[in-house]
A = this chain, B = another copy of it.
Amino acid sequence: MKSKVMVLESFNEPLVLREIEIPALDEGQILVKLQAAGVCGSDVHIRSGEDPRISLPVILGHEGVGTIADMKGGKRTVDGYELKPGDCIIWNRGITCGRCYFCQVIKEPSLCADRLVYGINVSCSEKPYLNGCYAEYIILRANTDIFKIKDGIDPEVLVSASCSGATMAHGFDMLTKSLTGQTVVVQGAGPLGIYAVVFAHSLGASCIIVIEGSTQRLELSKELGATHTLNLQKTSPDERKSTVMDATSGRGADLVVEAAGVHGVAQEGIRLLRKGATYLSAGYAQPAGMEEIDFYRDVVNKNITIQGVWVSDTRHVKQAVDLVAGNPELFAKLLTHRFSLEQADEALTVMKEKKAVKAVLTF
């Protein structure tokens, strides 16, 4: 049996449709028939060669939901459920060594130096070949962390939980103070920013201010819980700061979440904080130059915390899946574009041009 796959063979070239013979499974491996594959903003950067982790050729796609077509040996979910063919599942896109300083002492497996990520740093020339989600089938390795999906949850809506959702869950999980009644600013309203809006809302924030250049995304933010929206094209930094100050008795925001990752965003965002507040920076997933930070005025004198957020681990995938499962109708709105597997390049272009908020490949 063969699986169609969409392969990135050269940077800045269209993906190529290939057929790969599905190999016999090794002990513990699971063959998954994909139901939905998320088209992530990172995939756009990967195609253009900006991500240093890639070794070509690679089947793109690190966000997937699918049903078990076959499995070799027993396998339990993280929750202890014994999986069987036909089960619909989602999984942690990263696999970590489980034994190193970061996995065992720091307990942040997302920092493991040997982290393998489906669809990113494992080529399709490496066994078992079906290593990405832009494909009819993917083979999950024995040490993949898997969650069973409850009936009634739409795979297309859920699929982003495994990447942008989990990354934002990681960010909110590092916060140590309650958000009840607080003011949260979110910079950027792509999928990452949208998850920030819903997490902030679901954790009790009463005022959520979104800064973003796309009218479509600002509208969407409002539907998902934003109380104020600020159009980056139509407001000056001073106007945006004034809005934040007005909303907070002149103090500044309790939390600013950076989900944009472009030059200058951190500089602006840090200045929107009240004294003692936290800046959660999650958007810089690829190089964007230097931010100029006045440590005296904006960090030390205000007792500020700046927290970088890098990818996610299994704990965070669970949190994001739970968030989507609790708010499916909200996250359905995030899903603006659907494509077939063969249209993956078109999907990447729509994401690159920011016409879509979230695009998925459906099967």
Binding site for B on A (CB under 8 A): 76, 78-81, 98-102, 104-111, 143, 145, 169, 172-173, 176, 178, 180-181, 199, 202-204, 206, 249-251, 261, 266, 275-276, 281-297, 299-310, 313-315, 318-319, 321-323, 325-326
By the criterion CB–CB under 8 Å, are A295 and B291 in contact? yes
Considering the chains assembled together, what is the distance between the CA atoms of A249 and B102 in angstroms? 13
Min Cβ gap A205→B in Å is: 9
CB-defined A-B contacts under 8 Å, sample of 25: A80-B100, A105-B315, A105-B318, A107-B315, A111-B276, A181-B319, A181-B323, A202-B202, A204-B323, A204-B326, A206-B326, A281-B295, A282-B300, A284-B300, A290-B294, A291-B294, A291-B295, A295-B308, A299-B308, A300-B308, A300-B309, A301-B308, A302-B308, A305-B305, A305-B308
Assembly CA distance A178 to B318 (angstroms): 12
Alpha-carbon distance A79/B180, docked complex (angstroms): 15
A119: min CB distance to chain B, Å: 19
Task: List, in ascending order, chain B residues with CB within 8 A of A296's CB.
Answer: 261, 284-288
A307 cross-chain contacts in B, Cβ below 8 A? 304-306
A81 touches B249 (CB 8 A): yes
Copies assembled: 4
Q: Which residues of B contact A250 (CB under 8 A)?
A: 80
Beyond contacts A80-B100, A104-B109, A204-B326: 4 other A-B pairs, Cβ-Cβ < 8 A, are A78-B101, A110-B303, A176-B176, A306-B307
A134 smallest CB distance to B (angstroms): 25
A219 to chain B, nearest CB (A): 22
A172 to B179, CA, bound (A): 11
Most buried by B among A79, A308, A310: A308
Q: Which residues of B contact A249 (CB under 8 A)?
A: 79-81, 101
> How far is it, in angstroms, between the C-alpha of A156 and the C-alpha of B304 when the chains are bound?
33
A315 CB to closest chain B CB, in angstroms?
5
A325 pairs with B290, CB closer than 8 A = no
A101: which of B109, B251, B290 is its contact (CB, 8 Å)? B251
A299 — nearest CB in chain B belongs to which residue? B308
Output the residue of A99, A276, A300 with the most chain B CB within 10 A. A300
The reply to whether A326 and B110 contact each other, CB–CB distance below 8 Å, is no
Closest to A249 in B: B79
Establish whether residues B281 and A300, one from each chain, have CB atoms under 8 Å apart when the complex forms: yes
Contact A293–B290 (Cβ < 8 Å): yes
Write the chain B residue with the least CB distance to A109.
B104
Complex contact B306–A306 (CB within 8 A): yes
Rounded to whole angstroms, the CA-CA distance of A287 and B301 in the bound complex is 10
- Bound state CA distance, A143 and B78, in angstroms? 19
Contact in complex: B206, A203 (CB < 8 Å): no
Q: Which of B299, B305, B306 contacts A284 (CB 8 A)?
A: B299
Contacts of A314 in B (CB 8 A): 104-105
> Cβ of B275 and Cβ of A111 under 8 Å apart?
yes
- Cβ contact within 8 Å between A308 and B303: yes
**Is A172 a contact of B178 with CB atoms below 8 Å?**
yes
Whether A276 and B106, one on each chain, are in contact in the complex, defined by CB atoms closer than 8 angstroms, is: yes
A276→B204 contact, CB < 8 A: no
